[in-house]
Each structure stands twice: as C-alpha cells, then as structure tokens.
Amino acid sequence: MKKNLISILDIQDRIKELLRIAGEIKKKHKNGEPFTPLEGKSLGMIFEKPSTRTRISFEVGTTQLGGHALYLSPKDLQIGRGETIADTAKVLSRYVDGIMYRAFKHEMMVELAENATIPVINGLDDLEHPCQIMADLLTIREIKGTFEDQHLVYVGDGNNVCNSLLLGGAAVGMDVTACTPKGYEPNQEIFKKAQEIGKETGAVISISNSPKEAVKGTTIIYTDVWISMGDEEDEKRRLNDFEGFEVNDELVSRATEEVIVMHCLPAHRGVEISASVMDGPHSVVFDQAENRLHAQKAIMAEMMG
Ligand code: CP
Ligand code: NVA
C-alpha cells in the first residue's frame, strides 16, 4: 500500500525509527558518502503558498537522493484554470513517484492524497506541518539526547505547527504545553488525540494561557508567527490579542539555564520573538532549518525509495 505523510499520525509508530534514519543520512551526507535510493525517480512539488525552507530542502534533498524535483505553481498548472485537484493528482501519479503539497486547505490535501496512487507528503496546510516537526524532533534529539525528560512549551498561536508539535511530542514521549491567548488554542480534536497518545507514551500534553507560568523551569521554548499564511486579514486583531506572548529575555530567564529556543521560521524579530533571543545563545533555529533537509530525506527514502 502507498504511504502518505499528511499528519504526524501517519508515522506515529515510526517516528523514532525515522529520526534514527535521518541521523544516519545526515552523517553520510557530512562524510560525503553518496546515498541515492531515489535514482531515476521524480518528486512533484505543488506550492499554493510561498516557501523558502520547504521548497529548497525538498528540491536539494531529492537531488542528493539521486532523484529529480519539479516545482509546480498552481498559477502555471491548469489548476489555475479550473482543473480539479483530483484530476491533477491522477495525472501526476502517471508521471512522478511522489507529490509534496503545500496547501491552503487541509481538505484539499486529503482530496489530493485520496486521488493520487503515489505517496503524498504534506509540506504544510492549515491544520498540520509534519515535515517541520520531524526536523524539530531531530534537532531536540541531537541537542538533548532524549525526549522523555524534556518539556516543550509552545508560546504563540495554536496553529498548524502547534498541532503537529502536540502530536509529535506525544508520539515520542515528550511533555508539550500549548500556551496561547484565549481563543487561539490548538485544534481540539488533535489536542485530545495527542493526550490519548501521551497516555500510552508517558507524555503530558497540556494547555495554558499564561506564558510566564507555562515556561517556568522548562527545557524547550518554541514559537511561530502570530499571523500564518492565510490569516493576513486578521493582522490587527491578532497583534492586539497576542500582547504578552513575545518570547523575550524575560520569558526565557524563567526556564532552565540550558533551555533551547526554537522557531520554525520565517521569524519576525520584535513581534513573536525578540532579536536578543532569536540571535542569542539559546537559539537553535538555524539547526532546525538545516534539519529540514535531513529529516525529509529520511521521509522520502522511506516513502518513495
Ligand atoms: N518553516 C517553513 O516551512 O518554512 P518555509 O515556509 O520557508 O518553507
Ligand atoms: N504557521 C506558519 C508556518 C510557516 C512555516 C504558517 O502557516 O504560515
């Protein structure tokens, strides 16, 4: 059966093994050892929204695995003139060996996956960002060694990144708190699911509305933009509602001394994160960005190799 990565739930039981493989692939790459399981294969990449990291890491990653990636913009595809996503999925399935899709709507992601006969990888939609979280977990594993004694506090909007972090943290046995302003909590179903998984793995999954309380003594602080792609209309209201949620020196000083600060990027210094924290000694944001490449190579090798 073909494999998809639409949600972290799709790889829930394989996450630790995939992270191990990603670590191996990273080592090989650093040692200059070729690893080319995608020789002769192609990845179609459909981007409905802009991207720096996802686009470049998937494109470069496919090349490093011996394959070829195609950047496909809906503006240039016939989707822009009304061809359905289902027909697009069926046609692409006749040409390429996998599809990476960045979509505005999760329903479109599901529709594409249901109609494709090849693996579909979610490169972000409005509900989840699983590839980002795989890179984040790889980063945490490299720096902290284990997940079980870690507590990640996500400070900000209960968005796609937050949803996938809850599921990913739960799956690897790491405590996760989503700390958001009231009304910006993560998806309820995902939160409940993460709590259920956590009961099996020993991860405590919780919600808070107070950053100062939530980060006390924590080992990982994570933040993301307050205005995600597609939320631009709400900008003014959001900036107002998120007051007090900036990850700054004062907030970081409440955590443990060896706390790491994470951000999936792109970041806005002086909005969700202060410049001093973003560019300071606790920040691991560029390690996360690099690990997109290695984590996704493991995902592609597994799904398309
Ligand atoms: N973090 C992330 O997905 O970045 P891009 O939007 O640049 O791909
Ligand atoms: N939550 C952000 C993540 C960007 C990588 C967004 O969806 O725009």
Same domain (yes/no): 202, 74:
no
Sign of CA dihedral 121, 127, 133, 135: positive
Q: Say what the pLDDT of residue 243 is.
A: 97
State yes or no: is 224 an active-site residue: yes
Same domain (yes/no): 107, 139:
no
Q: Is residue 2 part of a domain?
A: no
Ligand 2 contacts CB of residue 229 (under 6 A): yes
Q: Say what the pLDDT of residue 260 is.
A: 98
Residues β-bridged to residue 58: none
Q: How many CA atoms lie within 13 A of 217 on its CB side?
A: 2
Same domain (yes/no): 226, 247:
yes
CA distance 214 to 209: 8
> What is the 197 CA–ligand 2 centroid distance (Å)?
25
Same domain (yes/no): 119, 171:
no
Q: Is residue 3 part of a domain?
A: no
What is the count of structural domains for the chain?
2
The CA–CA distances, whole Å, from 179 to 5, 39, 188, 195 equal 26, 44, 14, 15
Same domain (yes/no): 277, 165:
yes
CA distance 73 to 58: 15
Q: Which of 48, 104, 124, 227 to mutate to test the pocket of ligand 1 (most atoms within 8 A of CB)?
A: 124
State yes or no: is 132 an active-site residue: yes
Query: CATH number of the domain that 18 lies in?
Result: 3.40.50.1370
Cβ(160)–Cβ(103) below 8 Å: no
Q: Which of 264, 272, 291, 296 to mutate to test the pocket of ligand 1 (most atoms within 8 A of CB)?
A: 264
State yes or no: is 64 an active-site residue: no
Residues β-bridged to residue 71: 45
Q: Is residue 241 part of a domain?
A: yes
State yes or no: is 231 an active-site residue: no
CA distance 87 to 258: 51
| Mean pLDDT of the region 37-58 | 98
Domain ranges, residue 206: 132-288
* The pLDDT of residue 1 is above 80: no
Q: How confident is the model at residue 2 (pLDDT cuts 50, 70, 90)?
A: confident
